[in-house]
Amino acid sequence: MRIAGHRTSLALEQEFWAGLERIARARTQSLPVLIASIDEKRAKDTPEASLASAVRVFVLEHKL
C-alpha cells in the first residue's frame, strides 16, 4: 500500500487487521487513508515507535 506517497508494507496479526478494517468501515475510510492518519499522528507524538506498534495501539484504544 502507499502511505504518504511511499510504498510500504505492514505486518499485523489477523485480529488487528480485522479491527482496523472495522474501524475503517465505521469511518467510511479506506485502509490506506486510515493507516496514513495513524502514521501522521505517530510521527508527531512518538516518532520512535514503529508504524505496526502505532496501529496496534490505535486498534486497542478503539476497543476500550
pLDDT digits (tens, 9 = 90+) for 30-49: 999 999 999 999 999 999 99
Give me the pLDDT at residue 3, please: 78
Grade residue 63 by pLDDT with cuts at 50, 70 and 90.
confident
Number of Cβ atoms within 10 Å of the Cβ of 16: 17
CA-based nearest residue to 62, from 18, 28, 32, 30? 18
Angle at 31 between CA 18 and CA 53, to 5 degrees: 65
Distance from the first to the final alpha carbon of the chain: 28
Q: Rounded to two decimals, what is the model's pTM?
A: 0.88
Grade residue 64 by pLDDT with cuts at 50, 70 and 90.
low
Q: Which residues neighbour 7 within 8 Å (Cβ) at sequence distance 6 or greater?
A: 1
